[in-house]
Amino acid sequence: MRADAGGRRREREARGLAASCESRRTSCPRSPGWCGGEAAPDSRMKRGIGRDSDHNSSGEDTAEKSKKLRTASEHSQTCDWGNLLQDIVLQVFKYLPLLDRAHASQVCRNWNQVFHMPDLWRCFEFELNQPATSYLKATHPELIKQIIKRHSNHLQYVSFKVDSSKESAEAACDILSQLVNCSLKTLGLISTARPSFMDLPKSHFISALTVVFVNSKSLSSLKIDDTPVDDPSLKVLVANNSDTLKLLKMSSCPHVSPAGILCVADQCHGLRELALNYHLLSDELLLALSSEKHVRLEHLRIDVVSENPGQTHFHTIQKSSWDAFIRHSPKVNLVMYFFLYEEEFDPFFRYEIPATHLYFGRSVSKDVLGRVGMTCPRLVELVVCANGLRPLDEELIRIAERCKNLSAIGLGECEVSCSAFVEFVKMCGGRLSQLSIMEEVLVPDQKYSLEQIHWEVSKHLGRVWFPDMMPTW
């Protein structure tokens, strides 16, 4: 009975409290005494109403945010990331570095399957370095084993970056010799420092490279600079890839003869880019590249290098061979790098040649630069690292007059008077897209000081220009 009485008493108290709350809610400030548009009797009441309104609005925003959070949480709980379509995961993996991709592959079985899909292994760079002698990172040996075991037949675009150690070059050859099931489209052997591949026994290197040449029936790009490749190995290359080879870079390959590179030009009619040393260049090679069967060459790079001063003999290419070459490929970029001593320039620039880019890595005389202005009308870019103490005023003016396509020039340890330099820029005008001149090159004269030349050159270029400054650290 007491329990029933207590329950009824609590029920009456609850009903009374509810009635009291209802009474307070219904007796709002809009009472009949001041309805009908009359002003509120107390400004404090207005502020109270405003605070109540803000409070209600804030409450609604909070409720909405809570609802969104609950929805997102429910969605994340219902979404099974392990069952995402493999095509979607594949696209994500393509943007990840290899190490991050490997970590992600451990999340679930589905992602691990994507990690081994062929599309992710078409392109790979093997970095082979000795930790004791190199600061560069190296591809982990276990990963190399896995690639050879599971993905060698998927590889298409492969490069090897090795340091100067013989061990790294040997490791690269070991990998090449195991790529018997792959058909590469591109192969690059990159030595970050000499001698690398040149230190290997020639037979060991040729044997490994021939494996790739024989098994790759669609090789289109081959970069083998500074390697002991020879004429017989080039014949193997041509026999298996003559229809697809488009790019060949083989500078500093001492075991290749002019006859060996001529074989490539005679058979690979789709070749568009070629890089080689000057000793491999011949009249026969230029005529082969100019035959009706051959496509128009787009880029020819020639390195003119002297290893033994005074003992290197440079032959002369006939003007008729250059003329035939340029008639066949009128838009070709002919890039020539010169690393000669002054007395070795005699065979060059004696008649017109179709060079578009000239780089002089050693000191070059005023006479040679004067001949450049007379014999290179197609010149687009000129870089002179050093010249001497005689000003190059006349030579620059001659180049500006004769080389109407010149758009880039760089001068290092040279001397040019400020007046001649301003005149050069004025003649070339806005077509000079790159103008890299060390401040030490410019010699003030009566007409211009170093402070004035900045404004004058900027005016003729149509943009702000400053000479390059030598760092002071």
Q: Which of 12-16, 21-25, 248-252, 304-308 has the lowest mean pLDDT?
A: 21-25
Is residue 55 over pLDDT 90?
A: no
Is residue 106 within 8 Å of residue 112, measured between CB atoms? yes
Predicted local distance difference test score (pLDDT) of residue 86: 83
Lowest mean pLDDT among 308-317, 399-408, 448-457: 308-317
CA distances from 423 to 408, 428, 440, 461, 468 (A): 16, 9, 18, 12, 19
pLDDT over threshold 80, residue 81: no
Over residues 154-163, the mean pLDDT reads: 92
Please write the tens of the pLDDT for every residue from 282-304. Answer: 999 999 999 999 999 999 999 99
Specify the residue for token string 């024989």. 214
User: 368: helix, coil or strand?
Assistant: helix
- Please report, for the domain that includes residue 106, its CATH number: 1.20.1280.50
Could you write out the DSSP letters of every residue in 59-99? HHHHHHHHHHHHHHHHHHHH--GGGS-HHHHHHHHTTS-HH
Owning domain of residue 112: 83-120
Q: What total of structural domains would you count in the chain?
A: 1
Average pLDDT of the residues of the chain: 83
- Whether 89 maps to a domain, the answer reads yes
112 falls within a domain: yes
How does pLDDT run across 391-430, given as a tens digit for each residue?
A: 899 999 999 999 999 999 999 888 999 999 999 999 998 8
Residue 101 has pLDDT above 90, yes or no: no
Whole-prediction pTM: 0.78
d(CA 390, CA 251): 33
90-124 core/surface letters (b: 16 or more CB in 10 A; e: else): eeebeeeeeeebeebbeebebbeebbeeeebbeeb
* Rounded CA separation 263/282 (Å): 12
Is residue 102 assigned to a domain? yes
146 in any annotated domain: no
Percent of the chain with pLDDT over 70: 81
Is 153 a member of any domain?
no
Within a domain: 260: no
Higher pLDDT, 248 or 101: 248
Q: What is the pLDDT of residues 330-344, one digit of tens each?
A: 999 999 999 998 888
Cα radius of gyration rounded to whole Å, the chain: 38
Residue 316 domain-assigned (yes or no): no
User: In this structure, is residue 180 part of a structural domain?
Assistant: no
